[in-house]
Structure 1
Amino acid sequence: MDRFQNTRQPDWDWWGQLWPTPGATLRRLGIKPETSLAEVPCGNGYFALPAARITDPGTVYALDLNEALLEELRTLTNQQGIENIVLIHGDARELTELLPELVDTVLMANTFHGIDDKEAFVQQAFESLHSDGRFVVVNWLDLPRETTTIAGEARGPPTDLRLSPTATESIVRNASDCRLVEQVDLPPYHYALVFTR
């Protein structure tokens, strides 16, 4: 399968400028101890690593199509002694087949804009959740790309791929039997929508 559009892994320096406290961000999004989480795609673990610390002893399933990023994440988990991350090589569009169990949360950060068939993915995400599970989508605001700068450079997806909160909610609601429970502002350039079954 082809990769999602415009979903390159940022380097750690500018990732850290954009999300200086990823653990605090995850807590704001309702990630809690003793729960399970699937991050799709996980990249090299910028969110998966702090998520594992929060959910411990709950499992974090870190799924990505890029084997090199998964290997980088494997090295980091070993270095940091994190034992509750399970790496899964595969495509997020086949999530229900790849996860060994239902999870409490499916997290998709910074990549929803690049999915070719968003409705099909949303269905996969909701079918992967426990009956009271949560689907969390973190998106870039629908601002012109030239206005979303980090370290003096325009960053994020092309302007025409960006989705407003209303557009994202509409896609998710049209593809699933869900309800929006919270919209979280994530300055300077992001928002999150939290859905539940």
Structure 2
Amino acid sequence: MEPFQNTNQPDWDWWSRLWPTPGATLRALGIDRGDALAEVGCGNGYFALPAARVVDPATVHAVDLDRALLDELDELAALHRIENLETYHADARDMADVLPEPVDVVLNANTFHGVDDVAAFVTSAYDALAPDGEFVVVNWHDAAREDTRIHGAARGPPTDLRLSPDATERIVTDAAAFQSVETVELPPYHYAVRFEKETRA
């Protein structure tokens, strides 16, 4: 799997315009203390770092194909004395084999639109989850890119790659035994769909 397409790591300044309190955003997605969490496509940790505070004493497993971003995340975790975060330079399709244990939540934020082999990715998320675990996908709404502006500039993926909540739900539930349990609005430009793992027959 190549690095997710059209998912360049944004500047934290404009990320903060979207989510000024990322820890509160994570809690709104049902993530809580004691939830072992894997974030796939974690970048340099805008969500992974606060997630470690939220789920402590459980572990955040941060997975990405960009070694430089993971190195930066390791440095930031050390700087902030966060000890319950582990980084993995790995292909998302190998997540279940790379992680040391099944997790309660797999989080994918802002990169789902750029996944080239989405069925393999969703299957990997399923296999990495403990029974009754949740897969959470945060996506840009399917608005025109010129209408999603931050600091006066159009931001986010190309318009033709954006997915509605219904489209995201169909893709995930067609690929693996997941059931959609909630769609959460994340103004101004995002939503999240929470999926619960179902037991395979």
Q: TM-score, normalised by structure 1?
A: 0.98
Is 1:20 paired with 2:39? Answer: no
Structure 1 distance, partners of 2:92, 2:22, is 22
% identical aligned pairs: 63
In structure 2, runs of 5+ residues without a counterpart are: none
Give the AA of the match of 2:7.
T
> What is the root-mean-square deviation of aligned Cα atoms in Å?
0.7
* 1:137 CA drift (Å): 0.1
1:26-45 matched pairs, under 5 angstroms: 26-45=26-45
Structure 2 distance, partners of 1:2, 1:77, is 26
Per the alignment, in what secondary structure is the counterpart of residue 123 of structure 2?
helix
Q: How many residues align?
A: 197
* 1:186 CA drift (Å): 0.3
> Which residue pairs with 1:157 in the alignment?
157
> Which residue pairs with 2:81 in the alignment?
81
> Which residue pairs with 1:6 in the alignment?
6
Structure 2 distance, partners of 1:105, 1:61, is 10
* 1:128 CA drift (Å): 0.5
Structure 2 distance, partners of 1:18, 1:185, is 12
Which consecutive aligned stretches of 4+ in structure 1 deviate over 6 angstroms post-superposition? Answer: none
* 1:93 CA drift (Å): 2.2
Per the alignment, in what secondary structure is the counterpart of residue 75 of structure 1?
helix
CA deviation profile, 1:132-164 (whole Å, cap 9, x unmatched): 100000000000000000000000000000000
Per the alignment, in what secondary structure is the counterpart of residue 4 of structure 2?
coil
Q: TM-score, normalised by structure 2?
A: 0.96
CA deviation profile, 1:25-49 (whole Å, cap 9, x unmatched): 0000011101100000110000000
CA deviation profile, 1:66-87 (whole Å, cap 9, x unmatched): 1110111111111100000011
> Which residue pairs with 1:49 in the alignment?
49
* 1:2 CA drift (Å): 1.8
